[in-house]
Structure 1
Amino acid sequence: MKKIKWSAFGLVFLAIILVLTAFALYNGRDHHPGYSLNLDIKSPKDSVTYKAGFCALKITPEITEKWSDKNKDAAFNEDDGDTFEDKNGNGKFDTYWIAGFSKKRAANGVHDDLWARTMVLDDGHTRMAVVAVDLIGFPHTNVLNVRKKLADQFGITYTVICSTHNHEGPDMLGLWGEGMFTRGVNPIYEKWVEDRIVESIGVAVKNLRTAHLRVAQDISGIADSLNMDTRKPIVKDAGIYILQATDAQTDSTLGSFVVWGNHPETMWSKNTLITSDFPHYVREGIEKGVYDDKTLAKKGLGGIVVYASGCVGGLMTTRPVVKIKDPFKDIYYEEPTFEKINAQGTTLALLALNALEKAEPVSGGISLLAKTIELPLGNWLFHLGIALNVIEGGYSSWGHLRTEVAAWNIGEVSFITIPGELYPEIANGGIETPKEGDFKLTNAVETPPLRQLMPGKYKFVLGLANDELGYIIPKSEWDKETPFLYDSPKAHYGEVNSSGPETAPMLHKTLKEMLEKLSQ
């Protein structure tokens, strides 16, 4: 037998391969091995008394080192002549990388605060916490970290953590750091946000009061002009859905939960100030009232507004080409400015306040279904991100991701959670089967529409809830290979930031089963 001779170069190369493989395998480890959830809680048959509690805690990062943007490209790059204030003298630029759009967008100050806002509802049998954070996403790993920290201390039956998908706050997914292979998340900030969410739930529980619930919606389509669908078929999630809790003793507003489907990215890609974008003005208007200059035009409700995003896939956005009209003046805003997001948020606040004038009371206990599911990851870029630790969390089993969906109702009000950016046609109908689709399907897979399956009159779809899997695209509309959909000369945006073509069918199938059971 011939002896194998290894050169020094070969040995070094082999060692490097082994180290890189070990590094990738370590990064792909399951951060919550064995975790599984399967809740099936039926509404109590006897009459219930509601309690509701709200809390709003700031999660705004402290921007200590500002920078000069030499060529005004909103990307920090010393090769362009950009400089920074090294206030602590460590020779490093200590910044927060803003999520969304492109890498290297360093925060250069704060315009308005980011929040962890919490609503806790209790029917005497089931206690639910719904938290909305002004962040690009809050991955399932972080959700489970929060649940571990919560333990049983506040008596919470089930926790939902939604991100608004804000593109003007710190990176929480890892994709928008300084370099291609650099994780953009500040780990200290990440853990602090988790702790603040736990704290906000605790304060909301402490604030629980006997309450009456009212529900309203604006499904008139008036909000259609405030965003655009950038990919065919043109289907939006234009409805505004509002749940209000009032103190049973004083009738004062404890808080409100508001849902609308649009990317909070109206400030667009050149903004370097931390802001929650238009949701800031939605909340301000509903809480404090809507003003025409200094004149009160519509009285606010008081209390705390928890704003969550609905179906934002497709994608629903307010690009600079979308003109937003001032609600009181004959002025249209086109360029991304704070005046534009003020007009957008204020218009939404007015629509919500007007809808609440016809609100209906809510009665009945909470019925709840929630389930852990496992999805195949069909995006090689995400696989690479996990291997390089740009994306944290790892696999639940090799090549698969753990995530979660839920469905619950309270009388005529029903809710579902979506762990990412759902294309609105999956919720509302209108899925198409273009001949150019990669899977050559003649029938839509994700039917019937989820809202058709949801019980009751008022149907809240909570996007980016308990995870951020990226775009959730109907399988018949999946398109990475030529020819492209609708004879487009180039590939459509969406698939590159999706966990894969099986995500939508599997989520729809699971939610369909849950909703059929919930409706029994």
Structure 2
Amino acid sequence: MNPKSPDRYKYLYLLLFLLLLTACVVRPLDRTPYQQSDYYQETISDLHETPAIISHGDTVQVGWAKVNITPPVGTPLAGYGKRMGMAYEQVHDSAWARTFAFSNGQTEAYYVALDLLIVPMEVLQELEKVYPALGLKPEQVYLTATHSHTSFGGWGKKLGIKLMSGKYDEELVERLAQQIVQSIKLARQQLQPTKIGFGSTSAASLVKNRLLDDPDNPYYQERLQNRDTELRFLKFERPDGSMAILSVFSAHPTILPSDDPTLSRDYPGVLVDALEERVDFASFSAGAVGSHSTVYFEGDTFESTEAVGDRLAKLLREELRRVEPKYVSTLGYGRVELELPKPSWRIGKGWRMAPFLFNSIFGEHPAYVTSLQVGDVVFLGAPADYSGEFVAGIAAQAQQQGQQAIVTSFNGGYIGYITPDKYYNLKEYETRSMNFFGPYSGSYLTEIMLRQLQQHQPQ
């Protein structure tokens, strides 16, 4: 008998164990076209069963209100995993919930803009518990965020979310939901007949496509064309002269450094504050910010946030004079659940982490495509860092329908970065680390958003 045989068996058992472990935690990448999938068919069925609600009533009344949501010093910041849950020590500019209320006598709807990284999934769940007491359905409340990476966290339960938002605080989540409800009630109390107008102006010098910013990238030459450069806004004007602005722009608010323990809204805060020097109320929401960064020249400083925010405010005010608002009577809203494939968090070109491992790290949360129609303007909300490269196609379809489209991200769910399918094999942060659901996420989500937009087409 060979005395080394037991060692050979030990190594064999170890090898078998490692092979079995690999088989449990690693799966081949699924490249089945999404149109052939059950999840796609289920979402299409849901679209047909729960179409957008469009009503044509009396003149749309508008109300607006804001509530300070800044938590106590010591609350973690959200936006960068390398902070390791670092708490903020001082406030540069406070965080707010800013809400618009709309009613045309037949139905009502709300637009909520939060000075947060995203609309947290846990907050959405809390809100859905209290909507009935307000006489509302979830689809009547259109949720957005500024996507500031220097606002507060404390709202994520799972490990993967905690890395970006710090230790979970149940009281903070409950309080934030109550503050949003308070803003809804206050805005509802301020409803008045109001003229509404859409405006848009180019801010091309302030946004770049960071995904294509590397000269070695095969799509580098397309970087200037493949951007969403428009600063879009709604102008609200009342007979007494009071005015409000709702603004949307597709550039990441990531100017300020990750190692500064200071709470701030980044450039959106400067923009909103500058607008409110001239008008009664203003809000900002992140547009299709996926792969889009802000262009600035004073370093990662508050001087840069001031420069970018002031420049956007100046551009908007210049265009504001050209917008002729009018009374409208159409009000609509919609929400469809986006059924998803099994997670495809890649660990190599053709391999992904087993779905159960991904879910244990990030959790399983519902995702929705949301919509809000005010007059001939349709907002479309994505549960993701949605790429600005898709916006041109959505805007074109809206124009064919005789409408204007405004795309926002972070509507209460989160499915990662959504970029065009052709970039899927790029070894970049957006396309590798933050692509959670496979090679066709961009085409799939965009098709559903276009179908949702079509439901708002005038009959």
TM-score (norm: length of structure 1): 0.68
For residues 456 and 107 of structure 2, the distance between their equivalents in structure 1, rounded to whole angstroms, comes to: 16
Contact 2:198 2:233 in 1 (8 A): yes
For residues 270 and 51 of structure 1, the distance between their equivalents in structure 2, rounded to whole angstroms, comes to: 44
The amino acid that maps onto 1:106 is A
Q: Which residue of 2 aligns with 1:278?
A: 267
Give the alignment partner of residue 500 of structure 1, picking from 413, 423, 437: 437
For residues 68 and 451 of structure 2, the distance between their equivalents in structure 1, rounded to whole angstroms, comes to: 38
1:40 aligns with 2:49: no
For residues 253 and 101 of structure 2, the distance between their equivalents in structure 1, rounded to whole angstroms, comes to: 24
For residues 412 and 212 of structure 1, the distance between their equivalents in structure 2, rounded to whole angstroms, comes to: 13
Cα deviation for residue 344 of structure 1 reads 0.7
Cα deviation, 1:203-254, whole Å, max 9, x if unaligned, reads 1111212222122111xx3x22223211124222211111122223x1212x
1:117 aligns with 2:81: no
Residues 234-273 of structure 1 aligned to structure 2 (within 5 Å)? 234=223, 235-248=226-239, 250-253=240-243, 255-273=244-262
Gaps of 5+ in 2: 1-45, 213-221, 346-352
Contact 2:97 2:112 in 1 (8 A): yes
Cα deviation for residue 194 of structure 1 reads 1.3
Cα deviation for residue 342 of structure 1 reads 0.8
Change (3 A) 1:177 1:184: farther
Identical columns (%):
22
For residues 129 and 51 of structure 2, the distance between their equivalents in structure 1, rounded to whole angstroms, comes to: 17
The amino acid that maps onto 2:80 is G
1:165 aligns with 2:147: yes
1:226 aligns with 2:199: no
Q: Which shows bigger deviation, 452-461 or 341-350?
A: 452-461
Contact 1:414 1:456 in 2 (8 A): no
Q: Which residue of 2 aligns with 1:21?
A: none
For residues 383 and 464 of structure 1, the distance between their equivalents in structure 2, rounded to whole angstroms, comes to: 24
Structure 1 vs Structure 2 CA RMSD: 2.8
1:347 aligns with 2:311: yes
For residues 58 and 41 of structure 1, the distance between their equivalents in structure 2, rounded to whole angstroms, comes to: 31
Cα deviation, 1:366-409, whole Å, max 9, x if unaligned, reads 23332122112322498546425xx4xx43xxxxx521112343
Cα deviation for residue 102 of structure 1 reads 1.8
For residues 338 and 161 of structure 2, the distance between their equivalents in structure 1, rounded to whole angstroms, comes to: 33
Cα deviation, 1:468-517, whole Å, max 9, x if unaligned, reads 222112222212xxxxx4xxxx5454431233224323222222222233
Change (3 A) 1:173 1:426: farther
Contact 2:271 2:310 in 1 (8 A): yes
Larger RCO: Structure 1 or Structure 2 (Cα < 8 Å, ≥ 6 residues apart)?
2
Task: Answer 1 or 2: which has greater helix percent.
Answer: 2
Give the alignment partner of residue 190 of structure 2, picking from 172, 192, 207: 207
For residues 118 and 322 of structure 2, the distance between their equivalents in structure 1, rounded to whole angstroms, comes to: 33
Q: Which residue of 1 aligns with 2:419?
A: 473
Residues 171-210 of structure 1 aligned to structure 2 (within 5 Å)? 171=153, 172-173=155-156, 184-210=167-193
Give the alignment partner of residue 96 of structure 1, picking from 76, 100, 103: 76
Q: What secondary structure is seen at the aligned counterpart in 2 of 1:374?
A: coil
Change (3 A) 1:230 1:176: farther
TM-score (norm: length of structure 2): 0.77
Contact 2:142 2:371 in 1 (8 A): no
Change (3 A) 1:210 1:268: same
Q: What secondary structure is seen at the aligned counterpart in 2 of 1:361?
A: coil
For residues 232 and 63 of structure 2, the distance between their equivalents in structure 1, rounded to whole angstroms, comes to: 19
Q: Which residue of 2 aligns with 1:52?
A: 62
Q: Which residue of 1 aligns with 2:395?
A: 451
Q: Which residue of 1 aligns with 2:293?
A: 317
For residues 265 and 355 of structure 2, the distance between their equivalents in structure 1, rounded to whole angstroms, comes to: 26
For residues 239 and 383 of structure 1, the distance between their equivalents in structure 2, rounded to whole angstroms, comes to: 40
For residues 178 and 416 of structure 1, the distance between their equivalents in structure 2, rounded to whole angstroms, comes to: 25
Contact 2:247 2:285 in 1 (8 A): yes
Aligned length: 386
Q: What secondary structure is seen at the aligned counterpart in 1 of 2:237?
A: strand
Contact 2:158 2:360 in 1 (8 A): no
Cα deviation, 1:424-457, whole Å, max 9, x if unaligned, reads 11222xxxxxxxxxxxxxxxxxxxx222222335
For residues 188 and 181 of structure 2, the distance between their equivalents in structure 1, rounded to whole angstroms, comes to: 11
The amino acid that maps onto 1:286 is L
The amino acid that maps onto 1:99 is G
For residues 185 and 118 of structure 1, the distance between their equivalents in structure 2, rounded to whole angstroms, comes to: 25
The amino acid that maps onto 1:142 is V
Change (3 A) 1:103 1:231: same
For residues 181 and 153 of structure 1, the distance between their equivalents in structure 2, rounded to whole angstroms, comes to: 32
Contact 2:110 2:142 in 1 (8 A): yes
